[in-house]
């Protein structure tokens, strides 16, 4: 009872401070929005699926709205035109991050490329990632690695096919993504299909994503941060520690190998080796602590987002057998009919497959509200409205992808809409921004682009599919579960069948 009274008093105290601060400021013309309740503001407006709730609010108040989430001032952008103003015209002003309490675990908010301000340390980390992992030459050199992981996915699905067993598409894609990232970063494979290996890391990654995406009272009322009333920071800390423990063991072994005989041919062609080279040349440029936090960013961001997109793409294709057939026929025409393996060089020739991926990103962006931005510096005027300094900026990519003023029949899965347009998701077309845009665009976009196309192509080119349990396509559940990434509420279970060659 005492804790509840303290909790209520702190919220009341925060509310009084908020009122006093607002009275001391000059009146500003804020964007429109629903009237906030005392103390809690508009928190109740969010619901269990904030991306959908915010979309409905934008249909009432317009594409630029203002909310009060406890003491947190939030501005929501829900149209391509206004997104362009925020992420291109005023990119520098809005390039900071609003840091949720969950990423304060182990001071990750001070060291993470995702969450630190876009200043010197951020530029240095981003340059390292671009040069060592995401440049075209680096990606090309890793094609064999990705091909091996896709072959293992194919072998697993073939085993299910022979046994008449359903495949959990999202989990299979997650295992493939997990192994790709672990091989790229550490030259190790962390998980196996249909076994308990890698389950700890899967739990860690999902736990981290859940903690960051979950609504947190401590974010809405910073005075509660030290109390951590929902235990989100505690859970996040546990998962960060588990992940760092794995990294520390791998780094320790690698440093030990280097110390024995640096020239004995024990060097590995992976990201960790490159990071340790930088560290040993100049420790002040990149410390071991920096490396651990960077590896965490890369590992978490590179697994869940890719696998969820593959699951959504396969779900849409199974719901629309005519679209599935068009993809399959294109693959047969470009790749061949005799189980030839798809290669990354084929992607540029697979126009309908690329359209399917774009349409999946439009309807099911992996991060529906992107990673929160923050207004830095002074108040900024956008479209006649004041955007207060330090306000949280949410770019509703889910709403932008379903904007009826931009897209014809926006709720329908129509890949053909992309066949006659140059619209892409690489940061230049603001009607399709699943990876963000501007200086904060996701640096892993080039790798995610290759992996999503290759996984979808591999699953379709080598197998025919039917829904588990005899469901017909229209019975497939397409409900969403909101987190930092958008997941299917009910996993996609599909039975692979021997490919019918005509």
pLDDT tens readout for residues 451-465: 999 999 999 999 999
pLDDT in tens, 348-405: 999 999 999 999 999 999 999 999 999 987 899 999 999 999 999 999 999 999 999 9
Alpha-carbon distance values, 194 to 153, 202, 415, 460 (Å): 11, 13, 33, 21
Q: What are the residue ranges spanned by the domains of the chain?
A: 120-497
**Local confidence band at 496 (pLDDT 50, 70, 90 cut-offs):** very high
Query: What pLDDT shows up at residue 210?
Result: 83
User: 196: pLDDT confidence band, cut at 50, 70 and 90?
Assistant: low
CATH class of 120-497: mainly alpha
| Separation of alpha carbons 318 and 473, rounded Å | 6
123 Cβ contact list (under 8 Å, min separation 6): none
Q: Tell me, what's the pLDDT at 484?
A: 72
Q: Give residue 283's pLDDT band: very low, low, confident or very high (50, 70, 90).
A: confident
Cβ within 8 Å of residue 319, ≥6 positions away: 413, 473, 474, 476, 478
Pick from 79-83, 190-194, 268-272, 420-424: least confident: 190-194
- Residue 7 has what pLDDT? 57
Query: What pLDDT band is residue 73 in, cutting at 50, 70 and 90?
Result: very high
Section 161-173 average pLDDT: 94
Give the model's confidence band at 159: pLDDT under 50 very low, under 70 low, under 90 confident, else very high: very high
Which tens digit of pLDDT belongs to each residue from 291-328? 999 999 998 888 888 999 999 999 999 999 999 999 99
pLDDT at 103: 95
Give the model confidence (pLDDT) of 473-492 as tens digits. 989 999 998 877 788 899 99
CA dist list (Å): 190 to 200, 281, 404, 496: 10, 29, 43, 25
Give Cα separations from 371 to 305, 393, 482, 490 (angstroms).
13, 9, 14, 25
Output the pLDDT for position 206. Answer: 82
């Amino acid at each position: 009872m005492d804790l509840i009274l303290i909790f209520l008093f702190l919220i009341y105290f925060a509310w009084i401070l908020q009122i006093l601060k607002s009275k001391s400021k000059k009146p500003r013309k804020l964007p429109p929005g629903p009237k906030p309740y005392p103390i809690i503001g508009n928190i109740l407006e969010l619901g269990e699926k904030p991306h959908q709730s915010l979309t409905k609010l934008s249909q009432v108040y317009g594409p630029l709205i203002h909310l009060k989430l406890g003491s947190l001032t939030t501005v929501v952008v829900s149209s391509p035109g206004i997104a362009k103003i925020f992420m291109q015209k005023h990119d520098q002003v809005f390039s900071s991050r609003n840091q949720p309490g969950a990423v304060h675990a182990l001071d990750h908010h001070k060291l993470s490329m995702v969450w630190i301000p876009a200043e010197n340390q951020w530029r240095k980390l981003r340059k390292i990632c671009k040069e060592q992992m995401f440049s075209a030459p680096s990606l090309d050199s890793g094609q064999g690695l990705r091909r091996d992981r896709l072959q293992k996915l194919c072998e697993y699905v073939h085993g299910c096919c022979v046994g008449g067993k359903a495949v959990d598409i999202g989990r299979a894609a997650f295992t493939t993504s997990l192994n790709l990232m672990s091989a790229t970063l550490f030259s190790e494979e962390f998980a196996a299909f249909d076994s308990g290996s890698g389950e700890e890391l899967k739990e860690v990654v999902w736990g981290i994503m859940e903690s960051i995406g979950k609504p947190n009272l401590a974010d809405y009322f910073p005075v509660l941060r030290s109390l951590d009333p929902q235990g989100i920071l505690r859970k996040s800390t546990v998962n960060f520690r588990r992940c760092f423990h794995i990294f520390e063991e791998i780094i320790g072994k690698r440093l030990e190998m280097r110390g024995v005989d640096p020239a004995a041919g024990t060097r590995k062609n992976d990201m960790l080796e490159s990071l340790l080279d930088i560290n040993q040349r100049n420790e002040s440029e990149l410390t071991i602590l920096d490396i651990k936090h960077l590896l965490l960013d890369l590992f978490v961001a590179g697994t869940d987002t890719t696998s969820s997109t593959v699951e959504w793409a396969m779900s849409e294709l199974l719901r629309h057998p005519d679209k599935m057939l068009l993809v399959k026929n294109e693959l047969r025409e470009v790749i061949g009919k005799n189980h030839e393996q798809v290669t990354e060089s084929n992607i540029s020739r697979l126009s309908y497959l690329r359209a399917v991926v774009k349409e999946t990103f439009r309807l099911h962006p992996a991060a529906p509200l992107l990673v929160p931005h923050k207004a830095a510096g002074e108040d900024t005027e956008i479209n006649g409205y004041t955007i207060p300094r330090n306000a949280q900026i949410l770019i509703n990519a889910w709403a932008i992808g379903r904007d009826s003023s931009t897209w014809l029949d926006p709720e329908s899965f129509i890949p053909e809409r992309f066949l006659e347009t140059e619209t892409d998701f690489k940061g230049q077309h603001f009607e399709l921004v699943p990876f963000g845009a501007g200086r904060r665009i996701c640096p892993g976009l080039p790798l995610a682009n290759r992996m999503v196309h290759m996984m979808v192509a591999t699953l379709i080119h080598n197998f025919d599919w039917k829904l588990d349990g005899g469901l017909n396509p229209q019975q497939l559940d397409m409900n969403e579960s909101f987190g930092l990434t958008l997941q299917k509420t009910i996993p996609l279970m599909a039975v692979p069948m021997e490919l019918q060659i005509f």
